[in-house]
Amino acid sequence: MPRTPLVVGNWKMNHTQSAARVWCENYGKALADGAGAKSAVTLGIAPPFTTLAALIEARGRHDFLIGAQNVHWESSGAFTGEIAPGMLNELGCDFVILGHSERRHVFGESDERIAKKVAAAREAGLTPFLCVGEKEDERDSGRTELVIENQLRAGLQHVELTDASELVIAYEPVWAIGTGRTATTEQAQEAHHFLRQILGSIAGAEIADGVRIQYGGSVKPGNAAELAAMPDIDGFLVGGASLDAASLLAIARGFDL
């Protein structure tokens, strides 16, 4: 099944509302200058919660997706500091990033919590972007496959997928995030292929064939094309390089043949 590449910017804790408006202006200018990808690529941005509404408004006619970087699993209640899936849906969000390595390793999010979030996001009509990835010592000790298989199986334990559009997976080796070190094309392709096989055993081959698996970890305009050429790499989750609109567009052009 052909998978339309999906290139998403994760702004993390960057870009205020006014910065998002400037980003959209720059995005429009870059497109007018011919910076858009020639092939079909879906773009998306995940700004901080407080920037979501401004970005949705500033997006105007541009057709990139907008999503959040986290969500709580309950629909309402006494959960100080949390945001419910329905709140994101009402704002007009399309997706939510879940299980990002910073959530897992800086904020101690467990697989069980991530699994509840994946299910709650699905129920609220938000596409979960489930992130998996091994730490450096796990790769060095040959445990990459074990770690990412466990994260994938655990993250999907409360959902039953009926269509490939209901899920996006992001493979993000922790040692490559924000470090300037990218996985080699072979390392990334191997992990993506493996994840697709595991997904097949969970949800069936047809769904596994259609689910987009993004690579994340120091993706830049200069390394996007070689990663994009790999058969199981269906897009990117881009941190630092997505803060600049022209650079995100240049990364999307990595999928041009």
Smallest separation (angstroms) from ligand PGA to the CB of 170: 7
Query: Would you tell me which residues interact with ligand PGA (CB under 6 A)?
Result: 10, 172, 177-178, 216-219, 237-241
User: Which residue's CB comes closest to ligand PGA?
Assistant: 239
Give whichever of 203 and 240 is closer to ligand PGA, judged by the CB atom: 240
Smallest separation (angstroms) from ligand PGA to the CB of 25: 23
The catalytically annotated residue of 72, 100, 109, 134 is: 100
Give whichever of 172 and 232 is closer to ligand PGA, judged by the CB atom: 172
The catalytically annotated residue of 109, 134, 138, 172 is: 172
172 included as an active-site residue: yes
Place of tokens 């690579």: 215
Full 3-state SS string of 89-124: HHHCCCEEEECCHHHHHCCCCCHHHHHHHHHHHHHC
Among positive and negative, which fits the CA dihedral 73, 76, 77, 79?
A: positive
102 included as an active-site residue: no
Smallest separation (angstroms) from ligand PGA to the CB of 104: 11
Alpha carbons 68 and 70: distance in angstroms, whole number: 6
Give whichever of 10 and 51 is closer to ligand PGA, judged by the CB atom: 10
Exposed e or buried b for every residue in 45-61, given b needs 16+ CB within 10 A? bbbbeebbebbbebbee
Which positions are catalytic?
100, 172
